[in-house]
Amino acid sequence: MSARNPGVEYDPSWFFDYKVNKPATFKRANELKTRRGVKKNYQVAWLLKAATCIDLTTLSGDDTFTNVQRLCYKAKHPIRNDLLKAVGMEDRGLTVGAVCVYPARVEDAVKALKQAGAPHIPVASVATGFPAGQTHLKHRLVEISQAVDDGAGEIDVVINRAYALAGNWEGVYDEVKQFRAACGNAHLKVILATGELGSLTTVYKASMVAMMAGADFIKTSTGKEGVNAILPVGLVMVRAIRDYYKRTGNKIGFKPAGGIRTAKDSCTWLALMKEELGNDWLTPKLFRIGASSLMGDIERQIFHNVTGRYAAHNELAMA
């Protein structure tokens, strides 16, 4: 992770009169989506970069130690070693960016990563009444503290959408600031649930307020909304990150999550980061993709590049 964001005092003048040009935003997003993709060896390099930026995730009601253990092994070995050898990347220690689980599974993930020989891979945990956030503030704060005590190095929290929709930005700021304090040394990733915020202008304001309150990352979605990570929203959020950096000198990370399933999609999001924020943001310290099935398609595309054919179902390990 990057250096912590200390946050700043609440100042509505940073965002109060901001308006997003929706047609221009959608036009720019469409340019990113429809452009010619990277090919062959360049594509492999981009896909390996994407793999290192994945928060490999399981957030299911039937999660057990066994499936968390399997996920952690995949986090340590995201790409088959023979495929890495074929593209000259064996013995590079390539892993995903983090493993993301519910708070009750944090201890399982910490244990499983140690068993896999990868205690350095961070455990991220969703908290604060994920995904709705409709629990009492004191319970949300306790949930953060418990996840950190159990070994989580990153906490993904959800904002109070009722405050955001009512324009109570000081209320959003105050809650996120308390979340930041409860995290201690763990990094804070703030989920905006953009599919429920109503407008791109509200997305920008929520992004700026979260960063002012001390967010180390801002994240699009819980993955449970009707609309999750889409490029127009991502564009607004990364431009808010750029504006915050210009004002403070603090680099804030970005995490799109929900609905990103294909290798091609991952390359599009990488292109967004490179073109809007620059190469400094093309690392797991400042860019993550929240996904559960994306890793499988990335490995499948690398397999095709190496062998000239697509893998049968049994040829690639499942996360």
DSSP string, 252-318: -EEE-BSS--SHHHHHHHHHHHHHHT-GGGSSTTTB-EEESSHHHHHHHHHHHHHHSSPPPGGGS--
Whether pLDDT at 256 is above 90 = yes
State pTM to two decimals.
0.96
Q: Which two tokens stand for residue 67?
A: 């499936």
Alpha-carbon distance of 161 to 171, in angstroms, equals: 10
pLDDT of residue 34: 84
| Cβ proximity of 227 and 197 under 8 Å | no
Would you place residue 27 in the very low, low, confident or very high pLDDT band (cuts 50, 70, 90)?
very high
Q: Is 127 exposed, middle or buried (0-12, 13-18, 19+ CB in 10 A)?
A: buried
Terminal-residue alpha carbon distance, the chain: 23
* Domains of the chain with bracketed CATH: 12-315 (3.20.20.70)
Output helix, strand, coil percentages for the chain, rounded to the nearest 5. Answer: 50, 10, 40
Would you place residue 38 in the very low, low, confident or very high pLDDT band (cuts 50, 70, 90)?
confident
* Main-chain phi, psi angles of 272, to 5 degrees: -60, -45
- Mean model confidence pLDDT for the chain: 95
Whether pLDDT at 319 is above 60 = no
Alpha-carbon distance of 293 to 89, in angstroms, equals: 22
* Residue with tokens 């609309």, as numbered in its chain: 227
> Per-residue b/e over 9-42, b at no fewer than 16 CB within 10 Å?
eeeeebbeeeebeeeebeebbeebeeeeebeeee
Q: What's the rounded mean pLDDT across residues 172-190?
A: 98
Would you place residue 35 in the very low, low, confident or very high pLDDT band (cuts 50, 70, 90)?
confident
| Annotated catalytic residue, options 49, 219, 251, 285 | 219
Residues contacting residue 293 through CB under 8 Å, at least 6 positions apart = 261, 319
pLDDT of residue 36: 63
Sort strands 187-191 and 289-291 into parallel, antiparallel or unpaired: unpaired
Whether pLDDT at 13 is above 60 = yes
Percent of the chain's residues with pLDDT above 90: 88
Residue 250 is given by DSSP the state: -
* H or E element, residue 248: helix 231-248
Alpha-carbon distance of 154 to 111, in angstroms, equals: 16
Q: Which two tokens stand for residue 178?
A: 């308390």
Alpha-carbon distance of 89 to 283, in angstroms, equals: 17
pLDDT of residue 139: 97
Question: Across the strands, what pairs with 189?
Answer: 156, 217
Q: How many residues does the chain have?
A: 319
> Per-residue b/e over 65-76, b at no fewer than 16 CB within 10 Å?
eebbbbbbbbbb
Q: What's the rounded mean pLDDT across residues 250-259?
A: 96
Would you place residue 292 in the very low, low, confident or very high pLDDT band (cuts 50, 70, 90)?
confident
pLDDT of residue 116: 95
Question: Across the strands, what pairs with 57?
Answer: 100
pLDDT of residue 102: 97
pLDDT of residue 315: 86
Q: What's the rounded mean pLDDT across residues 282-288?
A: 97
Percent of the chain's residues with pLDDT above 70: 98
| Cβ proximity of 96 and 78 under 8 Å | yes
Residue 108 is given by DSSP the state: H
Give the number of other CB atoms < 10 A from CB of residue 129. Answer: 17
Secondary structure (3-state) at 123:
strand
| Annotated catalytic residue, options 189, 251, 255, 285 | 255
Alpha-carbon distance of 287 to 79, in angstroms, equals: 20
User: Could you report the per-residue pLDDT of 190-212, keeping only the tens digit for each?
Assistant: 999 999 999 999 999 999 999 99
User: Could you report the per-residue pLDDT of 79-95, keeping only the tens digit for each?
Assistant: 999 999 999 998 789 99
Would you place residue 318 in the very low, low, confident or very high pLDDT band (cuts 50, 70, 90)?
low
Based on the residue annotation, tell me whether 255 is a catalytic residue of this protein.
yes
